[in-house]
Amino acid sequence: MIHGHAFHFIDLPELQHDAAITENSIVVKVMQREKIPAVFSLYRPWVPLSGQQGRYFAKSPFEEADENFAWGLELKDVLTLIWEPEEQIIYYIKGEHYSAQRLEFWIYHTFFPMSLELNRVYHFLHVGAVRVQNRTLFFSAPSFGGKSTLTDYFIQQGATLISDDAVGIEKKEDTYVAVPAYPFHRPYREPEELGYPVEKFAEKIQNIDAIFVLQKEDKRADVVIKEVKGVEKFKALYHAVFIEFPFRKKERFTFFSQMAQAVTVYRISIPWDLKRLEEVHKAIVDLAPPNVKGKLKL
């Protein structure tokens, strides 16, 4: 399952899995044409995306996006992706530098998360996420702020991966849950690569137990964890968004304001020294959750 859905690359046996097509399935198929269909007439400007030049297009204004919003992403000279939500199909048009590996990356890492956000299915956070002894932990930091490195260390110590880079959030009654992304991890940051496959990957949605905001410190600094309260909790969530849609600002504000009241957030000082990752890991794992006695052990 990828972002809570089963993918069927019907034209690509190397990416195909033996699973029945259900209402939760996404079919990926090639579109036998060289140009974007004329019905998609609204284009956004070209922008840099993961080492490529990309532009978005749609049938109607993005500001009108709803659960049936169809749109597309063109990556110059690489490939074009088109999302038809009513059919649950992703069409792709091959560019000069197309490859199956690039197709998989752009769908899993970027295009499908954006589609789920536009269609109001999930809100996405730019975090690493792992499952440790029945607790789901998020690691939040700016780009190159250490979240991938810390996520990688937890995986090496036996934690279950939920998300390497971005995770979908869904509200179920009064609980906020994380939807597992995809079973690949990329501790390095090479563009257009999903990373290496992991053995322990979460198969089901998980309640969110704590979010750790990583604060980069001198390599000699102490590892200190402090719980974040009030408006700082909201800021920690609001500024960790994976996809910036200005027209969703009000919705995002409401969603993360409510989530901030329901989820525990910590700020942890991270000494910038790989040799001290064991110390950081231990501080997080040994932290007793609120109102629960005892310590966590891997």
User: At 227, which CATH number?
Assistant: 3.40.50.300
Structural domain for 265, as ranges: 124-285
Distance CA 61, CA 76 (A): 22
**Largest Cα span, the chain:** 62
Pick the closest to residue 111 from 139, 79, 143, 140 (CA basis): 79
Cα 28–chain centre separation: 20
Pick the closest to residue 151 from 162, 142, 143 (CA basis): 162
| pLDDT the model gives residue 292 | 42
Q: What is the pLDDT of residues 124-148, one digit of tens each?
A: 999 999 999 889 999 998 877 889 9
| pLDDT the model gives residue 288 | 59
Q: Domain check: are 79 and 165 in the same one?
A: no
Q: If you search the block for the tokens 């009513």, which residue do you land on?
A: 86
Helix (H) or strand (E) holding 156: helix 147-156
Q: Tell me if 63 is assigned to some domain.
A: yes
Pick the closest to residue 255 from 114, 69, 124 (CA basis): 124
From 101, 121, 141, the end of a domain falls on: 121
Q: Domain check: are 144 and 274 in the same one?
A: yes
Q: Is 208 strand, coil or helix?
A: coil
Q: What is the pLDDT of residues 213-266, one digit of tens each?
A: 999 999 999 999 999 999 999 989 988 888 888 888 899 999 999 999 999 999
Q: Tell me if 291 is assigned to some domain.
A: no
| pLDDT the model gives residue 20 | 63
Q: Tell me if 64 is assigned to some domain.
A: yes
Between CA 148 and CA 32, with CA 113 as vertex, the angle to 5 degrees is 120
Whole-angstrom CA distances from 257 to 230, 234, 265, 282 are 10, 6, 13, 30
From 67, 86, 121, the end of a domain falls on: 121
Q: Domain check: are 232 and 136 in the same one?
A: yes
Lookup: tokens for 217? 């410190």
Q: Domain check: are 132 and 82 in the same one?
A: no
Q: Tell me if 66 is assigned to some domain.
A: yes
Average pLDDT for 135-164: 92
Average pLDDT for 197-208: 94
**Based on the structure, what is the number of domains in the chain?**
2
Q: What is the pLDDT of residues 85-121, one digit of tens each?
A: 999 999 999 999 999 999 999 999 999 999 999 999 9
**DSSP output for 237-266:** HHTTBSS--GGGHHHHHHHHHHHHHHSEEE
DSSP structural state of residue 126: -
DSSP structural state of residue 16: -
Q: Tell me if 255 is assigned to some domain.
A: yes
Q: Domain check: are 164 and 42 in the same one?
A: no
Provide the terminal-to-terminal Cα distance of the chain, rounded to the nearest Å: 25
Q: Domain check: are 257 and 213 in the same one?
A: yes
Q: Domain check: are 151 and 262 in the same one?
A: yes
Which pTM was predicted? 0.91
DSSP structural state of residue 42: E
Q: Domain check: are 139 and 100 in the same one?
A: no
Distance CA 168, CA 166 (A): 7
